[in-house]
Chains A and B, each alone.
Chain A
Amino acid sequence: MPLLKDEDQQFLREEFARKLAGPVKIVFFTQALDCMFCQPTEQIIRELLPLSDKLSLETHNFAPESEEAKRYGVDKIPAIVLAGKKDYGVKFYGIPAGFEFSTLVADILDVSRGETSFSPDARDKVRAIAKPVDIQVFVSPTCPYCPPAVRLAHMAAIENGLISAAMVESTEFQHLAHKYNVMGVPRTIMNETISLEGAPPEQLFVEKLLEAAQ
C-alpha cells in the first residue's frame, strides 16, 4: 500500500517543481536482514523519488567499515544522507515517518538550494563557527515539537561544513536513547556535552551551538 496519498503526491510534485533549485541525491544505507525499519524507510524514499527528476537515489548495503559508510560518516541503519552540491552532513537515522516526514521534505528543499531560512544574525554566527560540532537530535515520529529541533540542527549543518547533524529516531535506537538518558523528545545533543530539551528558539539553539564549539 502506498504511504503517500494521491493528493499528497500531487502537492509535493508541485512543491518540488516550484522550489527545488538544484539536484538532491538521497544516499540510503540499508541491510536486508536484522533491520526492521530499513524496508519501510526505503518505501518512503521510493515514493518521493518519482515526484521530481531533480531527486536521485544511491543505495549502499551497510557495512560499518565500508568505504561509503566512512565517507558519509554513517554508523548505523537505516540511514539517509541528503547531498546537494556537496555532502552537507545532513543525516537521518531511523525512519523519517510521522511528523519527521515534513522535516525530510523541508531539508530536501534547503539542500537543493544550499541555503536555509536562518535569520541573518543567526546565519552569520553559525557560519563563523571554526570548530567541528556533531549534533544528534532524538525524536519520535509522533512528536509534533520535534521537527523544528531537527530542522535547526540540519540548517546549521548546511550553513557550516564543520557541523554535521543527524535526526535519531529514539524507539529504533534505544541503546543510544539510553546512553544519552533520553526520556523526552526532542532532545538535542551537541558534541556529546551540551544538551537541549524541547524545541529551542533559534537564538537559544545558536547560543548552545557556540558553546559546543568553544
Chain B
Amino acid sequence: MVDSQKYDIVVIGGGPAGLTAGLYAGRGGLRAAVVEKLMPGGLVANTERIDNYPGFPEGISGSDLAQKMQAQAAKFGAQFVSDEAMTIAAEPKSFIVTLASRAQLKAKALIIASGAYPRTLGVPGEKELLGKGVSYCAVCDGAFFRGQEVAVVGGGDSAVQEAVYLAGLCSKVTVIHRRSSLRAAESLQRVAFKNGKISFSWNKTVVAITGDKQVEGLRVMDKENMKEDVLPVSGVFIYVGYHPNSAVVKDLVRLDENGYIITDENLMSSAPGIFAAGDVRRKLVRQISGAVGDAATAAVAAQQYIENL
C-alpha cells in the first residue's frame, strides 16, 4: 500500500474555485493540496478574454488570469498535485483520495471544485470528426480555420464570446441557435450584432455534422417548418452548456437531477466534511466571480469544520 500524504484539506480541481480554495486554506494556516488533472485555471484557461471579472477594467486574457490565481495560491503555501482524483473513501473523521497514479492523499475535509465539462450535441459526425473540424475550444483550434467559414453552435455567453473571437480569424462565422433570441449578456450581443463577419441562424438545430476526412458542413433543421438545410463550413465550435464533473463523489453526496452537488448555505454537501464550490454546485449563475466567492466560503467553513472535529 502506498503511504498516503496527510493534509487538512484536499481540493479537487484547480479552476478558479479550486485555486481560491487553496489560497484561503493556505492563508488560514492549513495544509492544503489542490489536485488538478489538466492545467490550473480550469475553463478560464480556454477563454480568450474575460471582461466581467472585477478588478480588470480593460479585461484580461483567460490564461493570464489563471496564472495569476495559481501564483497567488502558491504564495500562501497551497501545494499542487498534477493528477486526477479517481475515487474517494470516507473514513471516520477523514477521507482518502486515490489518484490516477495510485498515490493517496488523506484529508480531514474535502472541497470539490471540479467544475464542468462541455456538453456534446450528440449528433452523427460529432465524435468521428473531433479534431477534424469539430472543436470545443476556440482559442486552441481557431487558428486552423484562418480565412475559412465556421459555425458556432449555442446562444449563451460562451458561444457569443467565442464567435466574436473567431470572427477575428475566420472569413465568416454563423451562430446557430435553437431559439429566436440569445441568452448571452446584452453587451456581448451588441458586439456580435455589429460584427459584419457574424451572422445568425435562428430556430435551428444541428441534425448532423458531415464530412469524410474533415468537416464539410452541417445539416441543420428549422424548428418551425422542419425543413433541413446544409450549411457548408470547415469548422464547428460547440458551446451548448456543461455537465458537472461530479462522478468522483456521486456515491458520497446528494446530487440534483442534473448531477450538480447540492449544498447548504455554508457550501457543505450532504456528507459532513465534503464541501463544494464553483460550477460543480447546484446554483443559478456559473461565472468566475461566483466560483471564487464560493471557494472563500467553502474554505472558511471547512476550516471551522476541522476545528470542531
Chain A residues near B (Cβ < 8 Å): 7-8, 11, 98-99, 102, 106, 117-120, 140, 142-148, 170-171, 177, 181-185, 187, 197-199, 201-202
Contacts and interface: CB of A to CB of B under 8 A. Distances in A.
A168 to B, nearest CB: 14
Contacts of B102: 119-120
B74 A11 contact: yes
Interface in B73-113: 74, 82-84, 100-102
Tell me whether chain A's interface is mostly helix, strand or loop, or mixed.
loop
Interface residues of B, number: 34
B146 to A, nearest CB: 9
Contact of B214 (A7, A106, A146, A183): A183
Contact of B101 (A118, A171, A197): A118
Interface stretch (B125-133, B263-271, B288-296): B125-133
B213 interface: yes
B247 interface: no
A182 B63 contact: no
B215 to A, nearest CB: 8
Contacts of A201: 84, 100
Given A11-B74, A144-B41, A117 B140 contact: no
> Which of the listed residues A142, A148, A181, A187 has the most CB atoms from chain B within 10 Å of its own CB?
A142
Contact of B140 (A118, A181, A185): A185
B100 A202 contact: yes
A7 B70 CA distance: 12
A113 to B, nearest CB: 15
B130 A142 contact: no
Nearest to B234: A183
Contact of B130 (A143, A184, A199): A184
Which 10 A-B residue pairs are closest in the complex by CB-CB distance?
A197-B131, A184-B131, A144-B45, A143-B140, A144-B39, A184-B141, A142-B139, A119-B101, A183-B144, A197-B130
Given A118-B101, A119-B101, A181-B213, A170 B130 contact: no
A8 B39 CA distance: 17
Given A99-B45, A198-B130, A145 B137 contact: yes
A184 B39 contact: no
Interface in B160-203: none
A148 B40 CA distance: 12
Nearest to A195: B131
Nearest to A178: B144
B46 interface: yes
